[in-house]
Structure 1
Amino acid sequence: MRKAARLFEIIQILRLSRHAVTAAEIAERLEVTPRSIYRDIVALQAMRVPIEGERGLGYILRPGFDLPPLMFSVEETEAIVLGLALLDRTGDRSLKTAARTVNDKISAAVPEPLRRSLQAPVLKAWGSVAATPATLDLAAVRGAIRDEQSLDLTYRDAGDRQTERRVRPIALIYYSDTMNLVGWCELRSAIRNFRVDRVIVCSLAPTFFRGEGDMLRRRWMDGWVDGSGMRDS
């Protein structure tokens, strides 16, 4: 996590907490060392963010400090509620956790009437829930897409044939019952779809394709017309 994003997350954690939060607790949530959090707290205090406390006892955010308000209409708020509920139907465990965090952050920032809309169980997403893949970490796959880093897959196709693939991942498609990884397959020299429930092993490869992701995605979308962008592996 970049420092700017981490500073924002620290403020959000303190805003949402009802008691003092220790550096160790913050560090565990953000997956960094307590020493990094101590340095971040000093940096925030130097920026006049009213954080009070000390090492070992914990930190609080003095009342009155707030980030710029988020202003949503009622329908925009309902769109957020339903979108977050739909994320909870996927098998992407880290996105489901993130959806709940987003709901908490928005609830803390919007006026009371909209907060009630976010928290009231009025809109529900129903239907089957996609299973969480046992053989690959979807958060790592999304990270590889962002970083334009290749993946090494051991893959079993629809004919039960097992192959080793090096793939340049460019997108994830979330269906109601499964997910597909889209990427440039070096074995097939073409864009292919890989069902995540057929992935036997997935690991980060030591190669990158930086600067090619947007081009590959355009090629994939152009392939929708002739069907080449929808082919399974």
Structure 2
Amino acid sequence: MRKASRLFEIIQILRLSRKPMTAQAMADQLEVTVRSIYRDIAALQAMRVPIEGGRGIGYIMRPGFDLPPLMFSIEEMEAIVLSLALLDRTGDSELKQAARRVNQKISGAVPGPLRQAMENKALYAWGSVAQPPAGFDLGMVRRAIRDEEKLSLDYRDELGRATERIIRPIALIYYSQYANIVGWCELRQAIRNFRSDRVEHCESAAAFFRGDGDRLREEWMRGWANPPA
């Protein structure tokens, strides 16, 4: 077990224990040496984690201490790093900027060993990078989904035919080349998929479908075979 993971697990063990835990008991549980536990306890105390006790009597966590909200295990941190890297490959400019801010915030808040795991640049997301759609911002679609606000689209289908659509957007699917907007189309009176690279213009339709988003998503999930618009 790597050091960052051990530090996290030791804190968890002491927080949940109702009596002092000896270094030997923790070493047995984590399958490491007692000497490693002593070094880890000293490292945690240096980071101002309120662990009290000593050799031969065991260790306890001072009452009232809780984990900071950004205390992750090493595997959880690696999952975050890779997820943020994958987000950076979407064509959603707002999400890409948000992913970079999240990276900076987490890096500044987590303890040193976890920060090293986040900044060692050992995990990468590879492949093509989706280009932002030319006619609109995907952030507008995400906000419309959250607010249950209708959107007006100028759309061109796979045969090049232009139509104007009013849709009730309910989901976004991110592919490596483009995003799919899923919504109830008032023209077709059915749920349809709209490729972002075929949307020539998108704006608010100044109308809402509040309270109906969950129902439409359930209907969509019951009919995955619906063809794109």
> Could you say whether these structures have the same fold, taking a TM-score greater than 0.5 normalized by the shorter chain as the test?
yes
The code of the aligned residue for 1:152 comes to S
User: Could you tell me which residue of structure 2 aligns to residue 232 of structure 1?
Assistant: 228
Taking only the aligned residue pairs, the percentage that are identical comes to 65
Please say if 1:143 is aligned against 2:143.
Answer: yes
User: Could you tell me which residue of structure 1 aligns to residue 110 of structure 2?
Assistant: 110
Would you say the 8 A contact 1:178–1:197 is kept in 2?
yes
SS at 1:108 equivalent = helix
User: Could you tell me which residue of structure 1 aligns to residue 81 of structure 2?
Assistant: 81
User: Could you tell me which residue of structure 2 aligns to residue 220 of structure 1?
Assistant: 220
User: Could you tell me which residue of structure 2 aligns to residue 71 of structure 1?
Assistant: 71
The code of the aligned residue for 2:155 comes to Y
- Find the aligned partners of 2:118 and 2:69 in 1 and give their Cα distance: 15
User: Could you tell me which residue of structure 1 aligns to residue 165 of structure 2?
Assistant: 165
* Per-residue deviation, residues 51-72 of structure 1 (Å, max 9, x unmatched): xxxxxxxxxxxxxxxx934111
Q: CA deviation at 1:109?
A: 1.4
SS at 1:210 equivalent = coil
The code of the aligned residue for 1:128 comes to S
- Find the aligned partners of 2:152 and 2:71 in 1 and give their Cα distance: 43
User: Could you tell me which residue of structure 1 aligns to residue 132 of structure 2?
Assistant: 132
- Find the aligned partners of 1:199 and 1:125 in 2 and give their Cα distance: 27
SS at 1:163 equivalent = strand
Would you say the 8 A contact 1:69–1:109 is kept in 2?
no
- The CA RMSD measured in Å over matched residues stands at 1.1
Would you say the 8 A contact 1:133–1:196 is kept in 2?
yes
Q: Could you say which structure has the larger radius of gyration?
A: 2
* Per-residue deviation, residues 126-185 of structure 1 (Å, max 9, x unmatched): 110001111011111110000000000010000110000000000010001111000000
User: Could you tell me which residue of structure 1 aligns to residue 199 of structure 2?
Assistant: 199
The code of the aligned residue for 2:151 comes to L
User: Could you tell me which residue of structure 1 aligns to residue 64 of structure 2?
Assistant: none
Q: How does 1:3-14 map to 2 (within 5 A)?
A: none
Aligned pairs, number:
163
- Find the aligned partners of 1:159 and 1:69 in 2 and give their Cα distance: 51
Would you say the 8 A contact 1:69–1:110 is kept in 2?
no
The code of the aligned residue for 1:71 comes to M
The code of the aligned residue for 1:176 comes to S
Would you say the 8 A contact 1:107–1:118 is kept in 2?
yes
Would you say the 8 A contact 1:82–1:124 is kept in 2?
yes
- Find the aligned partners of 1:93 and 1:154 in 2 and give their Cα distance: 21
The code of the aligned residue for 1:130 comes to A
* Per-residue deviation, residues 213-233 of structure 1 (Å, max 9, x unmatched): 000000000112xx13xx211
Q: Unmatched 5+ residue regions in structure 2?
A: 1-66
SS at 1:180 equivalent = strand
User: Could you tell me which residue of structure 2 aligns to residue 93 of structure 1?
Assistant: 93
